[in-house]
Amino acid sequence: MLSRLFEGTVDRLSQGLAFARERQAVVARNIANAETPGYQAQDVVFDDLLASASSGGPGAPAAAAPSRQIPARDGLARSDGNDVHLDRQMARLAETQIYQQALVQILSSHFTALKQAISGRV
């Protein structure tokens, strides 16, 4: 019922938050393994989420877009085979945090609008 009020927006925002959570976990794992010989940094592709959101149009239910981990390809690996570059991982972490904060703000504004509509203050 709630999803119909916002034409799938809440579902799509929830999917975006799930992607952000997964990307944060992947980046954290990369940072934790920065000194592990042979470790290859990974990243999460967000393009699948964007493609599923744009293909449905307004009112269409948001399809569950599977996440996809890919090699981060941050640059050349060190002599021990590890290719984690902390500066690039920290940049990804900051980017993901900004993305997540924006989604939370949008979701919060939707619920505020719903609360105002219910209380008759619109």
Give yes or no for residue 122 having a pLDDT over 70. no
> Mean pLDDT over residues 2-20, rounded?
78
46 is a domain residue: yes
Secondary structure of residue 120 in the 3-state scheme: coil
Supply the mean pLDDT for the chain: 83
Our count of domains for the chain comes to: 1
| Distance (Å) of CA 2 to CA 14, 24, 52, 111 | 13, 28, 20, 10
80 is a domain residue: yes
121 is a domain residue: no
Query: pLDDT digits over 55-112, tens only?
Result: 555 444 445 555 788 988 888 899 999 999 999 999 999 999 999 999 999 999 988 9
pLDDT number for residue 3: 47
What whole-number distance in Å separates Cα of residue 89 and Cα of residue 98? Answer: 14
